[in-house]
Amino acid sequence: MLATKKRIRLRPITNNAQKLAGFDVVLQRIFNARGIHDLVELEQSLSLLPSPWLLANMELMVQRLISAIQQAKKIVVVADFDADGATSCAVAIQGLSLLGARKLAFIVPNRFEHEYGLTPEIVLQVQQQYPDVAVIITVDNGISSFAGVEQAHKLGIEVLITDHHVPADTLPIATAIVNPQLSNDNFPSKNLAGVGVIFYVLMALRIRLREQGFFAQHPEPNLAQLLDYVALGTVADVVKLDQVNRILVHQGLLRLQAGKGHVGLIALAMEAKKNCANLSSTDLGFGLAPRLNAAGRMQDMSIGIQCLLSTDLASAQILAQQLESLNAKRKEVEMQMKQQAFLILEAMHNLQKFNPATGICLFDADWHQGVIGILAARIKDKLHCPVIVFAAMNAQEIKGSARSIAGVHMRDVLAEIARQHPHILTKFGGHAMAAGLTIQRHHYPAFKLAFTEVITTALEHLDLNQVLLSDGELTNTHLTLGFAETLQTVATWGHGFPEPKFHGEFEVLHCRIIANKHLKFSLRVDVNTPEIEAIAFFVETPENYLGMRRVKIAYKLTVNTYLETKKLQLIIEYFEKLQ
């Protein structure tokens, strides 16, 4: 809970919502503010997914996979070391196996030993570990792996790339590349996560195998069984939940809620103390994903992938418990780094008068490589500006993790720095809101100066005051358990399609501190309205707010379930003491 004062504004809407007439006025406003003007845009049936053949190079990708399957060639999946990469790997291994591949393996780089992606070192490791490898297929990486693809060619290994990251002007010379970000791609969604891309490849592969009569001798698999992986990876990678992604996430959640999820995800949910029967996209993002990501951040993502691929619950629980321990360690390291970072920032700036228009760039040789992305996000959220945090890779190189704010495309910022100073950046890539980079340690002062110059220009025309967008004030008609349950089921919420948030003034009946860092409230609108339970998490100096009599809050409506009893609960995201 941030202490910084924010302005609350209503989300802007248009007047083009005639086709939402079936909803009440609050739901109409919510969906209209998210660009929904027709009920069909909220439908979440798999039948509405666009054709996989709209993805460029899909035919070539599928034909090469069919050839590998028919000739029983060894296929090695090379994954990324985050949750999207791990779920992508699980989808690839299980999906290709269901579609007839018999010689499958995977390798995931270790962030502490390897660079990101299909590097020459990883190609050599693949060949050493699997001497009979014939095909490498990348998931959630590869679009910038020029040297790795070249190394594979020298060794006679075919490379197939599936990725979703923004490519450079030139592409690796792989046999086939499927990526919705390619300039010649006509797929209607550019927001697929890596796990969504490989799932689409499998859908196309099944179509061609069916046409060739493959399933006359083999059972035809229902690929929907992979959608719980797709849902987790999509939410974890914080890609925009456009209609395609909302369908994928919704359908994956349905499988988990129906008890049809993979045991690895069930075990992760158990460690997160989440009930699969009412699992939400928020639970995926803040419950399951951090535990899976902890493997890649703190040790080796192979543990996470093994958990996802587990076939019995007992084995999955053992691995999920390891992930829980790694996540606890991650939290401890993160807290230490956060304290150090703000001491550095306090020495550099008076944070009460901090000017966010310059952005922030920090480096400490002792910081943990696996946690710098989280630290960058925490600082970005606190100070509302683009942030890059660096840690040492070795004696010569440092690795940076960048997080941005709306209106500043972080990968474009790095590309502009590379254009102006081509000698500084060794490697970079990413998205609008998050990116990664590698530079020589001695280039850090020059990079920091270049970053400040480029980011200052990028921020010139943005309003950097912290603004919280609200879907309005609710009356007693909608401050109900029933409306909270409606919001949970009426749509799939996430990045780019945010869960509804409301604001209002409330009388404080009671307020107490929980676990030294949270505030639990009993609120009511006025004397004629019922008492409502509310909670604000991670409040700075919570003792300063005891004794409040009236408060202005921004909040989400949630359902608090305890021992099969459901209650309305407000999750407070921001509050101001009024009395």
The DSSP string of 309-323 is: T-SSHHHHHHHHHHH
Q: What is this structure's pTM? A: 0.91
Residues 490, 496, 499, 503, CA torsion sign:
negative
Topology of domain 26-40+467-577, per CATH? OB fold (Dihydrolipoamide Acetyltransferase, E2P) (2.40.50)
Pairwise CA distance, residues 91 & 87, whole Å: 6
Pairwise CA distance, residues 81 & 304, whole Å: 9
What is the identity of the amino acid at 436?
G
Name the DSSP letter for residue 462. Answer: S
Q: Considering the chain, tell me which residue range(s) the CATH 3.10.310.30 domain(s) occupy.
A: 349-458
Say what the pLDDT of residue 1 is.
46
Pairwise CA distance, residues 93 & 350, whole Å: 51
Question: CA 570, 572, 574: angle at the middle one, nearest 5?
Answer: 155
When computed from its CA atoms, the radius of gyration of the chain, rounded to whole angstroms, is: 24
Say what the pLDDT of residue 430 is.
81
Q: Considering the chain, tell me which residue range(s) the CATH 3.90.1640.30 domain(s) occupy.
A: 50-324
SS (H, E, C) 100-138: CCCCEEEECCCCCCCCCCCCHHHHHHHHHHCCCEEEEEE
Per-position DSSP letters for 412-432, written without gaps between them: HHHHHHHHH-TTTEEEEEE-S
For residue 432, which of 410, 449, 462 has the smallest C-alpha distance? 410
Q: Domain 50-324 class? A: alpha beta
Pairwise CA distance, residues 361 & 376, whole Å: 9
Pairwise CA distance, residues 238 & 155, whole Å: 36
CA distances (Å), origin 270, targets 242, 277, 279: 29, 12, 11
Pairwise CA distance, residues 527 & 571, whole Å: 22
Topology of domain 349-458, per CATH? Diaminopimelate Epimerase; Chain A, domain 1 (3.10.310)
Say what the pLDDT of residue 2 is.
43
Contact 257, 263 (CB under 8 A): no
For 231, half-sphere exposure in the C-beta direction (CA atoms, 13 angstrom radius) is 29
pLDDT in tens, the chain (579 residues): 444 677 899 998 876 656 677 788 899 999 999 988 888 889 999 999 999 999 999 999 999 999 999 999 999 999 999 999 999 999 999 999 999 999 999 999 988 888 788 999 999 999 999 999 999 999 999 999 999 999 999 999 999 999 999 898 899 999 999 999 999 999 999 999 999 999 999 999 999 999 999 999 889 999 999 999 999 999 999 899 999 999 999 999 999 999 999 999 999 999 999 999 989 999 999 999 999 999 999 999 999 999 999 999 999 999 999 999 999 999 999 999 999 998 988 887 655 566 667 889 999 999 999 999 999 999 998 888 899 999 999 899 999 999 998 889 999 999 999 999 999 999 888 888 889 999 999 999 999 999 999 999 988 888 777 788 999 999 989 999 999 999 999 999 999 899 999 999 999 999 999 998 899 999 998 888 889 999 999 888 888 888 889 999 999 999 988 777 889 999 999 999 887
For residue 58, which of 230, 172, 197 has the smallest C-alpha distance? 197
CA distances (Å), origin 549, targets 505, 514, 522, 523, 530: 11, 19, 11, 10, 16
SS3 of 507, please?
Answer: strand
CA distances (Å), origin 500, targets 42, 333, 350, 552: 15, 32, 34, 17
Per-position DSSP letters for 337-377, written without gaps between them: HHHHHHHHHHHHS-GGG--GGG-EEEE-TTS-GGGHHHHHH
Question: CA 87, 122, 285: angle at the middle one, nearest 5?
Answer: 20
Q: How many other CB atoms are there within 10 angstroms of residue 565's CB atom?
A: 7
Give the CA dihedral 280, 283, 286, 291, nearest 10 degrees: -130
482-490 LR contacts (CB < 8 Å, sep 24+): 483/26, 483/557, 484/557, 484/558, 484/559, 484/568, 484/569, 485/559, 485/566, 486/27, 487/557, 488/278, 488/280, 488/559, 490/27, 490/42
